[in-house]
Amino acid sequence: MERAALQVELGRVGEEHRQLHSRSSKRETDLNLAQVRLRDLDAHLNAKEAELATALSEKRSLEGDLQELKDQVVTLKLSLEDTKNHLHSEMLRRADLESQMKNLQEQMTFQKRLHEDELKETRRSHESRIAEIESGRQREFESKLSDALQGLRREHEEQIQGYKEELERTFSAKMENAQLAAARNSDFANAAREELMETKLRVDSLTAQLNQYQTQNSALENRIRELQETMDYDREMYRRRMVEKDKEMAQARQQVQAQLEEYEHLLDVKLALDLEINAYRKMLEGEEQRLKLSPSPSSHSVATQAISSQGRRFLRGKKRKIKESRRGEPSAYFKTIQHASSSGSVSIEDIDAEGKFVRLKNNSNEDQSLHGWVLRRQLGSLSDIMYKFPARFTLLSGQVVTIWGADAGINPSPTDLVWKSQKSWGTGDSIRVVLINSDGEETADRKVVQVPRGEDSGEQEDEFEEEIASSDIALQRQTKRRKKKCCLVS
């Protein structure tokens, strides 16, 4: 009955252990999912920060362009004011020239009148003199007077014509210069006005773009704040869940440890009871032999079976303890055996036991192109996987290259490679990696095997444990017999 109860209790404890193990594995899965989500949120936050930095740089460049355009507008306004002042001065000069021309015309009219008056007076004087002179001399003087008058008239007319032509040339030249200056100033003013309008339109468009970018920037800042709050909330929830899971795992470990201790105590009690039963059975057999009674044929077989079953249970418990201690300290009970071979210049130097990387080395004095070369991994009964080197990859003389898995969690150097399509090289008791060149020939090979320490002498260890168990049982039986005999003698 006690054995059945112990077996039932053992089954219940095993079931609880399996449930706790499944629950802890489920919580570890939830933890991994939370970590993946946290990494996604970090990547999204980095992308948003990069977009914000780009928007800020564009904003600064637009502000610089706006400031330049404002400076250009101020320059154009100043040039327009200068042009207006120049045009005003030209108009004033034109008015001065017109007033000078009017003054010259008035002077010319006044001199003409004076010449006409002088001519009339001269004519009157000549007429009076002619009237006084004799008729013969009158003709001569009239002819001379007419010639002199004609010469004077021609001279006056030539002078007046020269003055008129000079005034006309001066006026026409001034007018042309004023018209050309006015045309140039008007063209420049029109160009400045058009450029000012274009500048105003560009400033308006840039202002609209700046407002739009400011709106987008504020929206992005709001989004960043929301994402930051969400990330902080997720981090807090993740931390709380981690704390709760750590507490639950600690409680589960404590429960498992307590159950294991209780189970070991029950096994020890059961072993002691079996030893005591065997001792009493041996005492009963001794009494039967002493009293020369016929012993039951089944007693010896039952005792032998009990002892053998007792020894097997003792060995099972001991082996179970050894296995549990080996699980807790794998490095102390397992040794790694590596076998490597190379027929070419490139060799496989190392294979990570955790499946993070495979390391190659060029042992020759020449560079080796790995175009078309592949690495083939063999892991137990799993299907082989192949890693193909990049097309232009060359391994320099004496160089070492490391091919990392995608989930290695390191920052590779520029000379290393990353197998992006494969998370790791795999883990197991037996891993083999083969280097195959472009011709399909195997040039290098390395194999890593995990072997428990003392595996080669496993049968001897089992025999040694059985001898220890049988000697312990025999010693306890002899002790019980001696105590019983002492009691009978007394």
Among 240, 311, 274, 263, residue whose Cα is nearest residue 468:
311
Each residue's pLDDT expressed in tens, for the chain with a length of 490 residues: 677 777 788 888 888 888 888 888 888 888 888 889 888 888 888 888 888 988 888 888 898 889 888 888 899 889 888 888 888 888 898 888 888 888 888 888 888 888 888 888 888 887 777 777 666 666 777 777 788 888 888 888 888 888 888 888 888 888 888 888 888 888 888 888 888 888 888 898 898 988 888 888 888 989 898 898 988 888 888 888 899 988 988 989 898 989 888 888 898 898 889 888 988 888 888 888 888 765 444 444 444 444 444 444 433 443 343 334 344 444 445 667 788 888 888 999 999 888 889 999 999 898 989 988 999 988 877 888 889 998 888 889 889 999 998 888 888 888 889 888 888 888 887 889 999 998 888 899 998 887 666 544 444 444 434 444 444 444 444 444 443 333 333 2
Q: Which residues, 6 or more positions from 288, have their beta carbon under 8 angstroms from its beta carbon?
A: 294, 295
Distances (CA, A) of 310 to 139, 273, 314, 473: 188, 10, 6, 9
Give the pTM: 0.30
Among 302, 305, 443, residue whose Cα is nearest residue 374:
443
Q: Which amino acid is at 459?
A: E
The Cα 376–Cα 382 span in angstroms is 12
The Cα 274–Cα 312 span in angstroms is 12
Among 445, 441, 454, residue whose Cα is nearest residue 338:
445
Among 305, 308, 275, residue whose Cα is nearest residue 479:
275
